[in-house]
Chain A
Amino acid sequence: MSEKCITVRADLADLDEVITFVEEVLNGEGVPERIVFDVALATDEAVTNVMNYAYPAGDGSLTVTCELRDAVITISVRDNGSPFNPLATPLPDITSNLEDRQVGGLGVHLIRQLMNEVAYRRDGDENILSMRKQIPIAVIDPPPLN
């Protein structure tokens, strides 16, 4: 497949639109349900970060690109907000008990767990977060006939 992309406002009201886009693209390629779940959730976490924090001064947009090539799914999330590397945030302590437990950093932790590779780069005035997920060859379903 070629790359497919969607641009939305950096507003949580548009989060569903992004996730529906990613799910529809991957489902259309016959990607197994469980892989779609992992990629959709990782995309949710990345996009939510941008929507919440990238544009503190006002409105902005973000673009999500979805590509499937050689059984590797690549999701890129681009925004023109303040320079921010989410991968540089401290790792959460996921072993603490109820009273001490904090949830800051959990989104990035989930992205790292759900995807095989995650990379951040600043390119000009863009933040680009790229996430890759390998599909085990044995579980690729054929695309629907219609």
Chain B
Amino acid sequence: MKALAAAAVALALLIALALLAPQWLVFMAMLALAKGVVVLGLVVLMRTGLVSFGQGLYFGIGAYAAALLSHQWHIADAAVMLLAAAAAGGLIAALLGLLLARYRDIFFAMLSLALSMILYGLLVKSAALGSTDGFNLHARTFFGMAFASGMERRVFLIAGSACAVVAALMVHRLLGRHWGRLASAVRDNELRVSYLGASPYRVVYVNYLIAGALAGFGGALAALAVGHVDPETTYWTTSGEFVFIAILGGTQSIIAPFVAAAIFEALRTIASQYAPNVWQMSLGLAMLAIIMFQPAGLWSLAERWRRSA
């Protein structure tokens, strides 16, 4: 009930932001939301004790799936794009997960990184997809409804927000039940999980699939915001950003990824505005500060505040 109320408030705020904020802020909010959804998936995966340094793979797949729909098949409906992107991410994750779910720790992290870089290599080499330049996408309708120019992005933000809130609620439900405890159990002791009669492989596989689908969705949302896709979406620095945001927020709450993504985007915008040559260093220092002083993420501040209140 509390979660539902929080979701309703979050959605109302996002809709207000989408309708009232200036275009640049709407754009930033879309990007933050897109990354928040990807990190939400990463958090699901991290519950099993696994960190993927290759979520850019699914982010890129989602972005390119949306762009290809518009480019190749002239489908300009944002709703179709978002759903197709999530499906594409989930589908590829379902395939690669068969392999990856066998690996743990650094092997899992490196293998996921390698797979994302393979896609990066393919995209850079394929002239038909614009190689390093990528190509544009145009979304003009949502579920067949057309909007005045300038309104599109606002509508897409509302749609993205609704989907993100639903996804976050579903993840919250999932992790609050047996599945969430089972994921922690796999992180702690796989031998015991097997000897209780459950399959650690299956837990990792399903969580990987969820993470892939969410990252695909996030990729499409980002592509809708930018109106353009390029191989950078699958590059390792993009994947690194997601891990950065996950650590920034912490993995104990499903709201944390979104708050952290918003802070990250704001931090980056401000840093590149006022210190264009050292903005990456500013982010690096922020990361250093988090790891040293708030290793459980910013969310632990909120937890502490709530407990003392």
- Same complex: no
